[in-house]
Structure 1
């Protein structure tokens, strides 16, 4: 019968009885009565057994109480005795202290020191005796090839040497110990390399422990790095052979970085077991640095060669930058973990980041060249220069509308390649691009200047002159927009100037030297705080070319006037004495002046389109020309934003130049007889009437 139920606190007799008689419903009354009687009998027997056990236990306790009392009394007596002895000892100590005689204590101290020295001497003698024995045993086990036994004995030899450091032959002993360590390393290194190569965890732990025990822990780490680098160099060579980075989308570097990142992630737990005495993530970070810097051929050389073969090297650099960022993102997740890593690991992370970005930093020296070549290639692909001058001007105006977009793309490329660290190269590249556009405009200007002889026969030349001025205005406005785009991009650059730079994130400190970093910061600050833009020299260059275009166009328009006035000083009428009967003919203008008048009278109808469809670009170009009366209005623009301003300016400039040329021609008449004066007056009045 299970009596444990009766000891429970929530024991219920009714529940127990019901459970006992459960399943007895099929019995008849007699059987049920017999079962109950049997159960009562068993309970009575159990009660008797429990009572007997209680009586026995009580008797044992009662019989043991006298002995317990005696033990307690004995402990009390011993405690009292100890107390008495301690009091006597304290009294003796006070007596010694009061007497001022410490000779007894000094003797005890000297005896203790003597004992310690004797113990050390005995130990040294034992170690000296052990040295000879251990050295002989090491020779034997090394010849037998038992590396673990030899390593243990070398450890014992090292302990002996620490005790025998002051002996005369300590240097010889140290040399012998070092030779044993080198022999063990030479014997264990092939096994270590093989274990590391095949990733055999048990063998790696075994042999690396042997080498660490004999003081060759750094050599074990070196073997590990060498084995891993051998495999990585083979992988790098295979990837280069499959993709020599000559295409527009090279993938070998990204594949190598992915392979290296995967290897580092898998090796964390393995390295922590093989190298328990060092930080595994730091060891792997050092491996990653070597895997990036010690390849043959180096990544920097491969990238430099590939950039020279690329038609668009900036596209290559964008792809490489993305691969580098992705690799550092993966390694940051592997190395930092939740705790962020130690300071040594953070410093190694900075070194790794700088090593990864070294190929990009090397290419940053050529960023201006790459960006300028990319922009000029776009200019050349537009085929702006045509054999027909009006078509060239039209193409140049259409291209001017695309220059802002090209500068925006250039700024975006700079952001993708260098995070705007190469913004100085960006500005210089855009400046070279503007110079290329200005050169095309200058060629068009020279072509228009060569049409001055055809303007009287072909009035489309006049329209071409206006198109030249308009084109110059379009280019000027486009360059001003480019300056705004580039300056706003540089001014809004969000760069990290921390020193040392943060790891795993591109910053100027990882791409530039400290001096170059400071100069870049000053350059960006100057652009951000000053009113002048980053392309001020380019804008000035375009303004000068714009002035030259306006001057060339006006010279071409005025060229017929010059042609008509060229024979004026040599006309025979000025020096011929005519009879009075022919003086009446002087009242009619001469042929040269009537030709001038006809040409001047046709100008307004050719300028009429400017009134119908005003051109902001034409006005902008003419605004670069200072007004004629610079004394009265210094620095004032010659043209306003009005619709009629451009036409007024052109007519006034033609009229002014006509008067100036006419005056110079008259002043060059060698001699003017009295009879010719009325003729000259008539010619001048005719010109004045035309101008009015």
Structure 2
């Protein structure tokens, strides 16, 4: 039986009994099994009782001994406390008796120390004079190591003469001697640093460290390394004169990376207690800003010789960024301690600084490139229809040219030249608009006063193409805006490119653009272009309207001619009591009616079919189109309404310009108006209220004119009265 479970803290008697009895159920004789368990438990109880009894006896037998030991320990502690009290009293007595003697000893010790310092000062003062006299002889030998040892001795002596009255004079004297040593050593230092002579350089490093002139030695190293790199730049130009400027830069940048590895290893051997990375960063910053000729001079000369300036700038930018990446990796690999981020920023600014002026001019370069590309597109032809067809075919290629400029801006300027790009795009699309206006002027010159369906089709084609361009410009503008929101703040490592390749003024302009877009300020990047295309489309629509209305206006010219109404002068032929149905419309109005009835079928290819480009531009240029529903033919109905409105207005104007009209002619004119009204009704239109009033006033008999003309426009009533020579009561 396992009785270890009885010692567990969470022992449960019921659970243990149930478990044991469950095992017993498997046995054949349950009663025997239970009796056996009880007997085992009784035996365990007896064993435990026996063990407890034995342990108790042992404890009781050992208690007297424990009590004796405890009592003895208390007695010893009391004796110790008494002895400590006696010792404390003796210490107090000694302090009282010997306190004055100890103070005297301390004073004597201080006096001894001061005497020793004075003695050493006198010795060093005497040593100073000896060293000064010896140095003059040593300087004549120009033995740098001996001179440095003498100066080091004087330097140590001066530290002990800090309280002498002429300390400052001696200090200036020592600095003068150090300057003389530096002047003697400088040619040898330059030679050692220039030739990378490790052994000699180590000697000079030790000497200058010992005389506390290490910063001056570091300046020599800085200057020597700078001159070495500048000479390598000039040698590279002379050697590879036939290479491109980007290849020059690439070669020199590779040389700088190799030089970094070499100098980092050499520097750590010579200047073991200095940081190589920061020193090399300072050297590279100074060197890159002192190149002769500078990168800018070389790039300017190259730009004058190439036609595709943007491709050259793209090569140069890629070369610069590649060098920045390589240099950054080298710094991370070789830096022993964390380098100040501000200094790293200055280094990359020095690398990118030559490119700043070209990012500033990027807009001008891009504009020239875009206009050159646009000039290569074939637009103008001898035939007007061919010109308009070419304009339609040019839309995809023109938009591709515009999109290429967006990708080019990202490649060349990391989108920092976005402001210049927008200026270039505006000039590009403005020039594109000019080609549409040339075509429009050709249409206007070819416009006739007779029925000309060909010109009408050309107008609609030009309007549709313009609308298509505007839709694509809007989509392109959306892409530009998304770029502003998502991809403008590009970074090199943790530094935004705007701090590397933009000057302060361009950076403010760039940040203003980003702020306007990101904060949701109403800003249309190509708003000027959109307005130009809307204005163009409005002009095309006006020309289209004039092309449709010109034949009508030409026919209506006969209305104000006296010859038209001369045939009605014989009233016996046209009696006033003839019914209206006996009258027939005159030729001019039937011509107009036939023209208007024919017009819808010529609108069908453009206005009756699904034409998103034309639909978009019509709704943009005229409010009446914008209120039309989206059903098929709705825009055609609006156009017909405009034509009807113009026709009625022109008819009204011609009628009011008639000088004299007798009653038969007046009835005929009213009948002509009625014919026009019927034509309009067939087209689902109505004539204007003004024309309806004129029709009614023209039919009123002269003797009833006063009574029946009430309620009509006073202007129309007076004009018809005067025209018909009706006397006013």
TM-score, length of structure 2 as denominator length: 0.73
Q: How far, CA to CA, are the matches of 1:455 and 1:271 in structure 2?
A: 93
Residue 123 (structure 1) shift: 1.8
Residue 388 (structure 1) shift: 3.5
Q: How far, CA to CA, are the matches of 1:551 and 1:444 in structure 2?
A: 14
What pairs up with 1:328-367 in 2 under 5 angstroms? 328-337=324-333, 341-344=337-340, 346-367=341-362
1:105 aligns with 2:99: no
The answer (yes or no) to whether the contact 1:368–1:426 under 8 Å persists in 2 is yes
Residue 331 (structure 1) shift: 1.7
1:686 aligns with 2:675: yes
Q: 1:655 matched to which residue of 2? A: 644
The one of 527, 540, 547 aligned to 1:556: 547
Q: 1:393 matched to which residue of 2? A: 388
The one of 213, 216, 220 aligned to 2:217: 220
Q: 2:246 matched to which residue of 1? A: 250
Counterparts in 2 of 1:579 and 1:246: CA distance versus 1, 3 Å: farther
Counterparts in 2 of 1:496 and 1:610: CA distance versus 1, 3 Å: closer
Q: 1:486 matched to which residue of 2? A: 480
Q: 1:270 matched to which residue of 2? A: 266
Counterparts in 2 of 1:190 and 1:642: CA distance versus 1, 3 Å: farther
The one of 206, 209, 214 aligned to 2:203: 206
Q: How far, CA to CA, are the matches of 2:180 and 2:651 in structure 1?
A: 108
1:174 aligns with 2:171: yes
1:524 aligns with 2:514: yes
The answer (yes or no) to whether the contact 1:293–1:299 under 8 Å persists in 2 is no
Count, aligned residues: 591
The answer (yes or no) to whether the contact 1:427–1:486 under 8 Å persists in 2 is no
Residue 143 (structure 1) shift: 0.9
Q: How far, CA to CA, are the matches of 2:320 and 2:672 in structure 1?
A: 81
Counterparts in 2 of 1:140 and 1:581: CA distance versus 1, 3 Å: same
Q: 1:621 matched to which residue of 2? A: 617
What pairs up with 1:112-261 in 2 under 5 angstroms? 112-240=109-237, 250-261=246-257
* SS of aligned partner of 1:150: helix
* Structure 1, 181-190 or 142-151: larger mean CA deviation: 181-190
The answer (yes or no) to whether the contact 1:246–1:310 under 8 Å persists in 2 is no
Q: How far, CA to CA, are the matches of 1:206 and 1:339 in structure 2?
A: 25
Counterparts in 2 of 1:125 and 1:365: CA distance versus 1, 3 Å: same
* Structure 1, 647-656 or 275-284: larger mean CA deviation: 647-656
* SS of aligned partner of 2:415: coil
The superposition leaves residues 317-350 of structure 1 with CA deviations (integer Å, 9 ceiling, x where unpaired) of: 3222222222122222222238773343x33211
Q: How far, CA to CA, are the matches of 1:240 and 1:623 in structure 2?
A: 62
What pairs up with 1:308-327 in 2 under 5 angstroms? 310-327=306-323
Q: 1:69 matched to which residue of 2? A: none
Residue 612 (structure 1) shift: 8.1
The one of 457, 467, 471 aligned to 2:461: 467
Residue 644 (structure 1) shift: 2.8
Counterparts in 2 of 1:461 and 1:470: CA distance versus 1, 3 Å: same
The superposition leaves residues 332-374 of structure 1 with CA deviations (integer Å, 9 ceiling, x where unpaired) of: 2222238773343x33211101111222333332233333333
Counterparts in 2 of 1:191 and 1:627: CA distance versus 1, 3 Å: closer
What pairs up with 1:387-536 in 2 under 5 angstroms? 387-453=382-448, 456=451, 459-493=453-487, 495=489, 505-512=495-502, 520-521=510-511, 523-530=513-520, 533-536=524-527
Counterparts in 2 of 1:576 and 1:613: CA distance versus 1, 3 Å: closer
The answer (yes or no) to whether the contact 1:245–1:252 under 8 Å persists in 2 is no
Q: How far, CA to CA, are the matches of 1:403 and 1:107 in structure 2?
A: 106
Q: 1:571 matched to which residue of 2? A: 562
Q: 1:44 matched to which residue of 2? A: none
Q: How far, CA to CA, are the matches of 1:559 and 1:241 in structure 2?
A: 74
Counterparts in 2 of 1:317 and 1:596: CA distance versus 1, 3 Å: same
Counterparts in 2 of 1:561 and 1:333: CA distance versus 1, 3 Å: same
Unaligned runs of 5+ residues in structure 2 are 1-84, 683-729
Counterparts in 2 of 1:293 and 1:673: CA distance versus 1, 3 Å: same
Q: 1:82 matched to which residue of 2? A: none
The one of 652, 655, 660 aligned to 1:671: 660
Q: How far, CA to CA, are the matches of 2:114 and 2:599 in structure 1?
A: 123
1:376 aligns with 2:343: no
Residue 622 (structure 1) shift: 1.6
- What is the aligned-residue RMSD (CA, Å)? 3.4
The answer (yes or no) to whether the contact 1:619–1:641 under 8 Å persists in 2 is no
* SS of aligned partner of 2:448: helix
Residue 455 (structure 1) shift: 6.2
Residue 269 (structure 1) shift: 0.7
Residue 483 (structure 1) shift: 0.7
Q: How far, CA to CA, are the matches of 1:534 and 1:95 in structure 2?
A: 99
The superposition leaves residues 601-628 of structure 1 with CA deviations (integer Å, 9 ceiling, x where unpaired) of: 4433433433786432222222223344
Residue 93 (structure 1) shift: 5.4
The superposition leaves residues 174-225 of structure 1 with CA deviations (integer Å, 9 ceiling, x where unpaired) of: 3332232222222211112222222222222233433443343233222223
Counterparts in 2 of 1:142 and 1:473: CA distance versus 1, 3 Å: same
Q: How far, CA to CA, are the matches of 1:250 and 1:582 in structure 2?
A: 97
1:294 aligns with 2:290: yes
Counterparts in 2 of 1:128 and 1:592: CA distance versus 1, 3 Å: same
Work out which structure has the larger RCO, using CA pairs closer than 8 Å and 6 or more positions apart in sequence: 1
Q: How far, CA to CA, are the matches of 2:570 and 2:110 in structure 1?
A: 153
Q: How far, CA to CA, are the matches of 2:142 and 2:336 in structure 1?
A: 44
* SS of aligned partner of 2:127: helix
Residue 116 (structure 1) shift: 2.3
Residue 404 (structure 1) shift: 4.2
The answer (yes or no) to whether the contact 1:138–1:150 under 8 Å persists in 2 is yes
* SS of aligned partner of 2:487: coil
The answer (yes or no) to whether the contact 1:452–1:556 under 8 Å persists in 2 is yes
Q: How far, CA to CA, are the matches of 1:416 and 1:364 in structure 2?
A: 12
Unaligned runs of 5+ residues in structure 1 are 1-86, 629-635
Residue 678 (structure 1) shift: 2.5
* SS of aligned partner of 1:383: coil
The answer (yes or no) to whether the contact 2:277–2:334 under 8 Å persists in 1 is no
The superposition leaves residues 141-179 of structure 1 with CA deviations (integer Å, 9 ceiling, x where unpaired) of: 221121111111112122222333443433432333223
Counterparts in 2 of 1:147 and 1:242: CA distance versus 1, 3 Å: closer
Residue 476 (structure 1) shift: 0.9
Q: 2:719 matched to which residue of 1? A: none
Q: How far, CA to CA, are the matches of 1:603 and 1:639 in structure 2?
A: 20
Q: 1:95 matched to which residue of 2? A: 93
Q: How far, CA to CA, are the matches of 1:380 and 1:244 in structure 2?
A: 35
Counterparts in 2 of 1:532 and 1:173: CA distance versus 1, 3 Å: closer
Q: 1:284 matched to which residue of 2? A: 280
Counterparts in 2 of 1:388 and 1:205: CA distance versus 1, 3 Å: farther
Q: 2:38 matched to which residue of 1? A: none
TM-score, length of structure 1 as denominator length: 0.77
